[in-house]
Structure 1
Amino acid sequence: MAVIHQTTLVPSKLELLTDWLPKQPWYRSRPGGPDLERVGGFRLDDPADAVGVEFMAVADGPTTYLVPMTYRGAPLDGADAALLGTAEHGVLGQRWIYDGGHDPVLVAQLVALIQGVAEPQAQSTSNVPDPTVATRPATEGPLTVTGFETVDAGSGTEVRVATEGGALTVRLNRVLSDAPADESVPGVLANRRRPDGTPVRATYATATFRPA
């Protein structure tokens, strides 16, 4: 399970996101620019224990965004366009931080989570599963990822995943709705906080599967 180091990260994740978010097609601009607060999320383990994987919900005034991120000890080949930036970790040294929808480690673990194979972990505590994260599989059994394409648009991010059994389309809800989450839809549900501090269930991602 992932070890969460209680140390410094310079610049911080929110500082990196403050610069990165307004450049995204799904960002809803507001006067004064981003004023971000972390309001939810969870982590996933990398089976190789090399890449940090986090799903973070951040509030910017009345709007809450989903930002999946990966943390690497070296640059990810071919992913320059998905780089949020670099930061100095107090224990691990320099880290390259990516928009996780473009990182093969996060995509594979997200598919495993949806299919009930990967166990969600607490966002800020080491070796503690997060029982508040709920998933519903898009098809029966595990899926082995053989490739993927990620498309960012104003409406959100679509990850088109090729598997040995067919095509899985995962939609990352970049803007998290205030509407009640539909637990019958395949995908991922997790908690976040409203501006007044009350918890609400949010649909982080939905999934559809088309057999080969």
Structure 2
Amino acid sequence: MALLHRATLRPTKLELLATWLPGRPWYRGPAGVEVRSRGAYRFDDPADAVGIETMLVGPADGPVHQVPLTYRAAPLDGADDWLVGTADHSVLGPRWVYDGCGDPVYAAVLAHAILSGSGQAEQYVEVDGRRELREPTMTIVAGNPGAPSTGGVRPTADEDATLVVTDSVELVVVRRPGLGAVDAAGAVLSGSWDGQPTAVPLAYARAR
């Protein structure tokens, strides 16, 4: 379960991404333009310390890009190359926002979601002391039992996907889902969203 706060983030997630995305090798679109959210899904951190959200975003007239994000209360050692930016959360304080492909917590929960079929976390917002369920903006599906532990991450990015190699699992995060084929194999996480009614591959996982 993901418990969301009624809060403001400055700069916003989309403002951070509009600045960060043009420097990625897999981004297709102009620099200096707003990006829009097309959908998002969340996973739970079992330790309840790291926020984990995957956003589908893109410029108004460009392709959809998949960006897994992790939100941390302090910098992640050794992950400077994967830092999207920092922001001020009106409830939780300073947040360090990372591309999840460089975060071992994201790698572990993604592997578990794909290989155990656990799916996305239910999202709740606290309103006047009550928890209200937030309807998801995406549907994701996965299958195949048996999720191993992952260990450290060794991520590399190319023009279509990011490969995350861990001690026990290889993960492939598709950066522009629905556009072209990604050379990957293994159990698949697929998803659909408004404007993409049929499910397309979002990520792959296979044991090493």
Does 2:207 align with 1:206?
no
Aligned residue in 1 for 2:94: 94
- Secondary structure of 2:49's counterpart equals coil
> Aligned runs of 1:121-160 on 2, under 5 Å?
121-122=121-122, 132-137=139-144, 140-160=145-165
2-side partners of 1:115 and 1:11: how far apart? 35
For residues 53-83 of structure 1, the C-alpha deviation after alignment (integer angstroms, 9 at most, x for no partner) is 0111012223000000000001111111111
Once the 2 structures are TM-superposed, how far is the Cα of residue 200 of structure 1 from its aligned partner?
4.1
- What does residue range 61-210 of structure 1 map to in structure 2 within 5 Å? 61-116=61-116, 118-122=118-122, 132-137=139-144, 140-163=145-168, 168-177=169-178, 186-194=187-195, 199-210=197-208
Tell me the equivalent position of 2:55.
56
Q: Distance in 1 between matches of 2:123 and 2:56?
A: 11
Distance (whole Å) between structure 2 residues aligned to residue 25 and residue 179 of structure 1:
16
Instruction: Call closer, same or farther: CA 1:58–1:199 in 2, change over 3 Å.
Output: same
**Structure 2 counterpart SS, 1:109:** helix
Q: Tell me the SS of whatever aligns to 1:84.
A: strand
Inter-partner Cα distance in structure 1 for 2:123 and 2:174: 19
Distance 1:34 1:176 in 2: 21
* Structure 1 unaligned blocks of 5 or more: none
- Spell out structure 1 runs of 4+ moving beyond 3 A: 122-131
Summarize deviations over 1:156-179 as a string: whole Å, max 9, x none: 20111222xxxx221111111157
Q: Which amino acid aligns with 1:22?
A: P
Matches within 5 A, 1:2-21: 2-21=2-21
Gaps of 5+ in 2: 126-131
TM-score (norm 1): 0.83
Number of aligned residue pairs: 197
**AA matched with 2:36:** E
Give the aligned CA root-mean-square deviation in angstroms: 2.5
- Per-residue CA deviations over 1:103-153 (Å, capped at 9, x if unaligned) read 01111000110112644124675766969320123xx42211133210011
Paired residue for 2:129? none
